[in-house]
Structure 1
Amino acid sequence: MSRRRPVNDLSPLISPPDTDCAERVGRYLDTLTKPPGSLGRLESLAVELAGMTGDDFPSVTPPGVVVFAADHGVAREGVSAFPQSVTAQMVANFVAGGAAINVFARRIDARLEIVDVGVASDVSGPGIVHDKVRPGTGNLAREDAMSRDEALSAIEIGRRAAERAFQSGCRCLIVGEMGIANTTASSAMLAVLTGSPVAELVGPGTGVAGKALAHKRSVIEAAIAARGADPDDPLDVLARLGGLEIAAMMGAYLSAAAKRLPILVDGFIATVAALTACRLEPALRPYLIFGHHSHEPGHARALKALDAEPLLDLSLRLGEGSGAALAFPLLEAASAMLCEMATFSDAGVDNRDGC
């Protein structure tokens, strides 16, 4: 099977999905005790999982959840309803097991890892992976968020995290984030990558509204003009306007795909990271399953750019990987359907064609 070359050596080699395996599974689904296609999207999920893994009976358990945490200098512009100190405080909450992603990860028996890739202050606690590139990005309203080398370093941190999840036996990857003001950075990146007006992309984030929302939009518009990121160079967009946790998410996606791990993508920020990673390495796209449609207005535009149809629509806008974790049982059900449902022949049930 042919393999694509990595773009600028940023990603490991990613094989295309196993189309022969996917076709076999598609045919096998029609032998199960149900009318053909009657389980709808669940059937297409099963076929996708088979193609990704190269396994006629793919397993997605146990899942791995990695949450990357980092701060953003643009928080100083007053674009968030919460102060920057909340990033470190939420990392402590993750460690204590009290955040939404902790609750949902426990429900799906996921391996959970928290990675400090760029929190502005020192964070400590059992289970935190300390892999900080720098203590927060620069204020993108006044300077580039990071250097190109720093962006590459953060991508590499994400790759290492995905490798740890794989070596621990995880068979599906969910990537989350925590970083006050990261909807600002993600919106700026998305506007440049898609050529979309900022006003159509920028929503409440952590809860800004009214004059505060108008201010957030104006900060992003001014930053895009000042930074002059090249829309045809995804790494330039990331370095000038992005976040360290966004870069790490990209690296995790690329590494997981190289391991043929299905990737369940979370909400707005996670999808912008996925879009940017796909612009770097298009071979990544077939390994992405989109968990939910966020309440953030820019998410619809990011999903459209990736030709993605999310599994759930619950009006979420939390991040952390929470929406993807909620969608994971659907992947589990698709896998179980293949492994546990009886065929017409096994069950002694007449098929519609009498065969």
Structure 2
Amino acid sequence: MSVSWCKSYLLPASLLLTFCLSLSGCIDQEPDTISWRLQTQATKESIDYKGLVELADNVSKMSSGRLQLEIIPSCEVPAGPDIYTAVQERRIEMGNGWPNWWSGQHPAWALMNAGPFDFMNLDASMMFFLAGDGTKLANTLSSPDGIMWRPAWWPGMEFGLISREPITGLDDLRNKKVRIGPGLPSEVLTAAAGAYTIPLVPNEIRPALENGDIDAVEWTTARGAWDLGLHDIGKNAIVPAIWQPSVLSDFLINQAAYDELAPDLQAILESAIKSYTLSITMKAKVSDFKAFKQLAGSGVNINRWSQEDIDRWREESDKVLVKYAQRDPLTKEIIEKKRNFKKEFNQYYDWFGNYEQQ
């Protein structure tokens, strides 16, 4: 090879310097950081809040810091039902709460959560939403508002009512003020017991019970009740939570914000959500076992609903659901699909259920 041939292919020094500097800039340039805010209804002491902090950490690590989630505990920016509109208006990029709290947007949201005599097992609800029609139906509700919906985690069967005075049945609740979530749960309780229902957010619950502004409290599971310290005030409980036997929490994601993410960041976020869903569902339910023993050991007197009361619950629940089914086709479709899935689930486990209890 001649020297002249080699020289003819050398870049001019100035062009070579420019090329090297541009290449160096590409290599050394820090990637853009995208920051999202996630407002949750969970309190800082709860397992689900701590899990959200871990979710944010995982997203940061998997994205090499390109996607950062700020987790905001209960009531610090929007509160209660306003979380939905905050996500819709992009005041926050993500929200975390409970589907029945969005009932003001559409009554069918109350049915997305577990109403009375809905799925009796959290695994049935998980199957419906993770492998059945549940998530698709929920997104049919949220998509017109520019929101993506994802299941967050399943507390499963809630605890019940905690009160200062003993409650032994529905008759004891007549004209009482009860803290309970909005939508279907409160509607059926009002119909069955003649109680007044108030959907207080977490930071309002304990002071209201202490001050006598409410007579009884429903707040998620045994662990949730313990973490709020309700046993310090109410030494009476009646279980289980007829109104929500397989309750689930959800994520709301602003669609436009999600669409702006690179495909790998979308995949990272979806993966982290699925990991959170499984781990927090299992951890929280195991923690409920311990919390139930703690509540009983702290002197809380625990009663159960009588069969007569359960029959009254069912009768009023059926009446309320008839009214829901008449509201619009989508609400009716949700009721029918959940009932059909529950029927298939029960038929299967008639054969393959817990054989120790035959």
Q: TM-score, normalised by structure 2?
A: 0.25
Greater share of strand: 2
Q: TM-score, normalised by structure 1?
A: 0.25
Larger Cα-atom Rg: 2
